Structure 1
C-alpha cells in the first residue's frame, strides 16, 4: 500500500507546475466570506470548525481556500516564541538529548498557545492547516525546510528554520505558506499585525523556490530541474508584494551580479495581472544616493523584460518597485 501511494505521489509531483491561475475560473468570494464569518471561532472542536468552514462549498479548492484563509486571518504569529525556539535549537544543536527535550517542550507549548490564544509559529500553522484539511477529506502535507527573507542570514551551515504546506487538488500538488500570508511584523513595535497576502496561496513553484527550500527536494515541484541549496542562497529577494503581482520570474537572475560599465542588465517576469508599465521603476541605491530609474520595457508573449544600462561604476542595491511597492531586490557591482 505504501509503495502504491509513493508511485501516485511521484506521478502527481511530476505533472506540470501548479499555480493559482489553474483556478482562475473559480471565484473564492464565498469561501472568503465563510472564513471571515467564523474568524472568531475557537480551536476547541476542530471537526465542528471544519464543518462550518466547508459547508456549502462545491469544490475541493474552495474548501481548501476557506480553511486556509481562516487559518491566515484567525491565528497570529508568535514572534517571541519563534525567537525563543531558534535560540534553544541553536544552543542545543550539538546536545542531542537536550534538543529532544526542548522539542517535546515546544510542541506542548505550541499546542497550548494555539488553543488558548490562537497564537503559534510556522510549524503550528502548517500542522493546523493539515489537521483541518484532513478532516475535510483533503490531502495536505507539511513541508520543513528553509525560509529566506531580507532579515534572515542563511548559509551552508544553517539549520532548517521554516515550515509550510503542499495541497493536492485536481491531481496536482500546490504550494502554500499560511505563516507568511497571515501578516507581518510591525517595524516599530515588532509585534505581529494581521495583513493577509494572497501571494502565498497556490504560488508558482518557480517563484516559491526563491525563498523556500525544502529538506525533501521533491517538494520544490519543479520537475527534473536542478535547484540546489547554493542556488537558493544566490537567488534574488522577492517580497510579499512581489508574490502578489509576479507569477514567476521568466528568467531567474542571481541576487548579486558583476557587470561591466555601459552593459545592460535585463530582468524578465510574467505578471499575474495586467499592469501599468509606467508604474514599474528601478530604485538604485549606492549607499550615498537613491535614484529612481524608468527602465526600457518590452512585453512579448506575456513576458515583461525590463532593461537598464549601467553608466557609472559602483555597488548598487537595485530594487524593483511597482506603484512605490517593493517587489524584488538585486545587487550589482559595476566595474570599468
Structure 2
C-alpha cells in the first residue's frame, strides 16, 4: 500500500524564517572585530579545569586563526599576573642531569610543564610563563606558535646600553599565512619599580604589533626577523617611545638615535611627522617638575620641527611631551 503525503507549506510564513536562518549563518561566518573578540573573552570564567578545556572553548567561539590567536592573548594577559617576587628572587634551578638527548628533553619538558601549570593554576608568571602558557593553549587550539627569546628595553636606562642580554621571552604565531608578533607579558600590565608591585592593565598594543615598533623594544636572540638582520647597535641606541594612544601614528625623523651627544650651548633639531592636533609641546628640565616650551614650526601639512639648546638646565634624560602625553625619551651626553 502506498501513501502520498502532501505538505502544505505557507511560504509567506516560511520566508522570514529562511531569511533569519541564512542571516545567522552569514553573521556567524563574519570575522569579529578586535573589540568583539576582547569583550567576549572578558566574559569567560576565571577558571577552567585545563588548558585543553579553554582551548576547546576558544575553538568553538572563534573561527579564524586571527580570532583564536587574539582570544588566547586576551585571556592570558587578563588572567595571569606578573610574579614580581619570583623575578626579584629567582628560584635556583638544579642542573639537569641526563645522559641521553631524549632524557634531557624529557627533563626540560617537565620544567616547562611546571612553569605552565603555575601560570595557569596560580595565575602567576614571569615572561617565560606567559610565553609558554600562550604557546600551550595556542597549540591546543590548532595554531602554529613559537616562543622567542632575546633582549628587551623598557626604561630610560636601557638607552645606549652596551650589551645585549637574553633576558626576555615573547611569541610569534602563524596567522593567515603570516607570522605576527606578540608579548603577553607586557600586554598584561606593568611593574612599578619603586613599589615593586605589579598593576594589571590589559594592553592590546602588544598583540600583532608592527615589527618596526616591536623591535624598537625587543631584540631576538638570532638577531633577525623573517631573514632580515636587525642592527644591534641601532637597537641599543634607539629613542625610547612609550606605548600610548599616539605610538602608532607619529614618526620621529630627527634625531632617530636615542643618544644625543652635544657640546654645551649647541642646538638639537627635532623633526616629527604625523602628530595629532595638540595645544602645547614641552620637554623636561633637570629640576623635577620643571619644563620648557620651545617654539614649534609647522612644516607642511603633517610635519613639525623645533630646536632645543643643550644647557645646564638639561638633565641626563630628555623627556618630550605634547599636551602632557609622553612622546619620547632621549639620553643626553654633554661634552664641554
- Return the TM-score normalized by structure 1: 0.73
CA contact (8 A) 2:279 2:323 kept: no
Once the two structures are superposed, what CA deviation does each residue of 1:180-204 show, in whole Å capped at 9, x if it has no partner? 1101124554222211112212111
Note the residue ranges of structure 1 that are not aligned, 5 or more in a row: 1-24
d(CA) in 1 for partners of 2:147, 2:43 = 27
**1:128–1:311 CA distance, 2 compared to 1 (3 A):** closer
d(CA) in 2 for partners of 1:163, 1:131 = 15
Equivalent position to 1:167, from 166, 173, 182: 173
Note the residue ranges of structure 2 that are not aligned, 5 or more in a row: 1-30, 98-103
**1:69–1:305 CA distance, 2 compared to 1 (3 A):** farther
CA contact (8 A) 1:265 1:310 kept: no
Two-structure CA RMSD over aligned residues (Å): 3.5
d(CA) in 1 for partners of 2:224, 2:258 = 24
d(CA) in 2 for partners of 1:96, 1:284 = 50
Q: Do residues 185 (structure 1) and 186 (structure 2) align? A: no
2:22 matched residue in structure 1: none
Equivalent position to 2:243, from 240, 244, 254: 240
d(CA) in 2 for partners of 1:30, 1:289 = 41
Once the two structures are superposed, what CA deviation does each residue of 1:252-298 show, in whole Å capped at 9, x if it has no partner? 71111123645342243556xxx33325x232223577314256254
Which structure 2 residues correspond to residues 248-327 of structure 1 after superposition, within 5 A? 249=251, 251=253, 253-259=256-262, 261=265, 263-268=267-272, 275-278=276-279, 281-287=281-287, 290-294=290-294, 296=296, 298=298, 304-310=303-309, 312=311, 315-316=314-315, 317-327=317-327
d(CA) in 2 for partners of 1:288, 1:28 = 39
d(CA) in 1 for partners of 2:206, 2:187 = 6
Q: Do residues 116 (structure 1) and 121 (structure 2) align? A: yes
Please say which of residues 153-162 and 322-331 is displaced more in the overlay.
Answer: 153-162
- Tell me the CA shift for residue 213 of structure 1: 0.5
d(CA) in 2 for partners of 1:186, 1:51 = 35
CA contact (8 A) 1:71 1:178 kept: yes
Give the structure with the larger helix fraction.
1
1:80 matched residue in structure 2: 85
CA contact (8 A) 1:313 1:334 kept: no
- Tell me the CA shift for residue 156 of structure 1: 4.8
**1:36–1:318 CA distance, 2 compared to 1 (3 A):** same
CA contact (8 A) 2:120 2:133 kept: no
**1:318–1:295 CA distance, 2 compared to 1 (3 A):** farther
- Tell me the CA shift for residue 151 of structure 1: 7.0
CA contact (8 A) 2:239 2:256 kept: yes
- Find the residue that maps to 1:246 and give its secondary structure: coil
Paired residues, what number? 294
d(CA) in 1 for partners of 2:138, 2:162 = 34
CA contact (8 A) 1:320 1:329 kept: yes
**1:53–1:321 CA distance, 2 compared to 1 (3 A):** farther
Which structure 2 residues correspond to residues 1-336 of structure 1 after superposition, within 5 A? 27-42=33-48, 44-85=49-90, 88=92, 107=112, 109-150=114-155, 155-156=161-162, 159-186=165-192, 189-219=195-225, 221=226, 224=228, 226-241=229-244, 245-247=247-249, 249=251, 251=253, 253-259=256-262, 261=265, 263-268=267-272, 275-278=276-279, 281-287=281-287, 290-294=290-294, 296=296, 298=298, 304-310=303-309, 312=311, 315-316=314-315, 317-333=317-333
